[in-house]
Amino acid sequence: MNKQPNEAIRALRKIIGQTQAEFAVMIGVSKDAVVSWETGRNQVSETWVRRIALATGVDGKLLRLGVSVPMSAAADGHVYTAADFERHRQSEWGRTDEESARRWLEHCVDTLELVLLAAARPGGDKNRQRLPGVMDSFMQWAESVREDFQLGPQIDEQLEQRRQQMGMTQEYRDWRAMNRGNPEGLKASGFVDDPAKGDREILRLPLEMVPGWSPGRSMKWPKPSIMKLAKPPFTQRG
Look at residue 233 in the predicted model and tell me its pLDDT: 63
CA distance 190 to 207: 9
Q: Average pLDDT of 2-17?
A: 91
What burial class does residue 46 get, using C-beta atoms within 10 Å of its C-beta: 0-12 exposed, 13-18 middle, 19+ buried? exposed
Q: What integer best gives the mean pLDDT of the chain?
A: 90
Residues 6+ apart with CB under 8 A from 148: 28, 29
Look at residue 237 in the predicted model and tell me its pLDDT: 39
What burial class does residue 1 get, using C-beta atoms within 10 Å of its C-beta: 0-12 exposed, 13-18 middle, 19+ buried? exposed
Read off the pLDDT band of 13 (50, 70, 90).
very high
Read off the pLDDT band of 127 (50, 70, 90).
low
Residue 158 has, within 13 A of its CA and on its CB side, a CA count of 7
Domain boundaries, the chain: 7-93, 97-150, 158-229
pLDDT > 90: percent of the chain: 69
Look at residue 67 in the predicted model and tell me its pLDDT: 80
What burial class does residue 71 get, using C-beta atoms within 10 Å of its C-beta: 0-12 exposed, 13-18 middle, 19+ buried? buried
Look at residue 103 in the predicted model and tell me its pLDDT: 87
Q: Summarize pLDDT for 36-74 with one digit per residue, the tens.
A: 999 999 999 999 999 999 999 999 999 988 788 999 998
Strands (E), the chain: 164-171, 202-211, 227-229
Residues 6+ apart with CB under 8 A from 174: none
Q: Summarize pLDDT for 23-42 with one digit per residue, the tens.
A: 999 999 999 999 999 999 99
CA distance 40 to 20: 15
Burial 12-27 (b: 16+ CB within 10 A, else e): bbebbebebeebbbbb
Q: Does domain 7-93 have CATH number 1.10.260.40?
A: yes
CA distance 205 to 207: 6
